[in-house]
Amino acid sequence: MRILHTSITVADIDRSVAFYTGVLGLEFERRRPIPENRAEIAFVRDPESGHRIELTRWLDRPHVEPGEQLDHLAFQVDDLDRVLADARSKGARVAKEPYRLAGGSGRIAFLLDPDDVWIELIEPAPAAH
């Protein structure tokens, strides 16, 4: 398992991309709508460490209150079903069972940490041969 990105909720994607790229020097990677979640996301990346931040704008949330910014932590896993079974056996709570986003190639699921922080588990699609 390896950490992929940290997702934060933002009120304005353009403003946040400008801040993270212009002020902090991160590199813009991509931006796309997620219609099934009524959201839009953009990724910025630290060129030194490679760590990515997912900026998430929820279309149904016009305001972001202090303390609501952390959206989720994302980890890549090789076998989503095995990791979920192991997590369940250790008492972890599953917030969303495995599914695919439209346009996505891998599967994702979400766990909750003890304080209800969402943990995204991402299993990439098998490589084409």
Instruction: Catalogue the active-site residues.
Output: 120
User: How many whole angstroms separate alpha carbon 14 and alpha carbon 115?
Assistant: 30
CA nearest neighbour of 64 among 120, 8, 7, 23: 8
User: How many whole angstroms separate alpha carbon 47 and alpha carbon 29?
Assistant: 11
DSSP code of residue 37: G
Q: Which residues pair with 50 in a beta bridge?
A: none
Residue 115 zone, left/alpha/beta (φ > 0; ψ -120 to 50; rest): alpha
